[in-house]
Chains A and B, each alone.
Chain A
Amino acid sequence: MRVYFDVSALRRTKWGEYAVRFLFGGAITLIAGILAKQYGPVFGGLFLAFPAIFPSSVTLIEKHEREKKQNAGIPRTIRGRLAAALDARGTAMGGIGLACFGLVVWKLLPVWKPAPVLFVALVVWFAVSFLIWRARKFHLMR
């Protein structure tokens, strides 16, 4: 299956929806910092993996798919929920990549400079997530 960009999807998202994501993301980052300062890095670190993007993404996917079907004259549909389920499956794979991101930072940060560590960790997150996704697609096609 081919991976591609559909920039028109950005226009379907309303400014209010962008604002909610910004406020939620900002609030979570702030809370994660405050918790680490208050209760220490062992407890505060849990919140570095807080699901800040997923809830709004799946909610918007369901809403946009439902609106698309309603515009096509289909008032009731489960397609939105099935599309959201596909997104959730991808997110579960990304969660494993996220754990690998944490592993790289944990092991390399004490010995390397911060910027390369964060860059390598980001590459590892994407590579692991992509390989799991690709392996599943390959398994389904066989």
Chain B
Amino acid sequence: MLQYLFRFVVGGLIVSAFAALGGTVKPKSFAGLFGAAPSVALATLGLTIQASGKQFASTEARSMIAGALAFCFYACVSHYLLAKRRLSAAAVSIGGLGLWLIAALGAWLLVLKQ
């Protein structure tokens, strides 16, 4: 239970720190880089290495590449919907999480699960 709480606090702090850093840099397109900061990965990998070993964490990182490419696709679609279709940022970014999940699961089914 304590391990879960520790993971939650570390994750919350690292995500908040990167989000705050992204909020302070200008111009906006540069600040956007921090929207894809490896915050969850940094919070998770260190704890995973301790608990399950380097090989387990390395395998996780391989799958992370597919998740990151799905993220890139999700951000490109979000950019199009915000800039060209002028949809609301909340609708695009929260609705788009489903798109990220579909793309990531698709990569897992087609490439990683083999």
Contacts and interface: CB of A to CB of B under 8 A. Distances in A.
| A and B found bound together | yes
Given A41-B60, A51-B71, A97-B33, A62 B65 contact: no
B40 to A, nearest CB: 5
Interface string A21-48: 1111111111011101000011111111
Nearest to B100: A51
Interface SS majority for chain B: helix
Interface residues of B, number: 87
A89 B48 CA distance: 31
B56 to A, nearest CB: 5
A72 B43 CA distance: 41
A70 interface: no
B67 A5 contact: no
Interface residues of A, number: 83
A29 B40 contact: yes
B105 A95 contact: no
A85 to B, nearest CB: 4
Interface string B81-103: 01100111110111011001000
Given A49-B67, A52-B39, A110 B25 contact: no
Contacts of B33: 90-91, 93-94, 97, 126, 129-130, 133
A54 to B, nearest CB: 4
Contacts of A106: 58-59, 61-62, 64-65
Interface string A104-142: 011001100010001001100110011001000000000
A27 B11 CA distance: 8
Interface of A: 1, 3-7, 9-10, 13, 18, 21-30, 32-34, 36, 41-62, 78, 80-99, 101-103, 105-106, 109-110, 114, 118, 121-122, 125-126, 129-130, 133
**3 residue pairs, one from A and one from B, having the closest CB atoms:** A90-B32, A29-B11, A25-B15
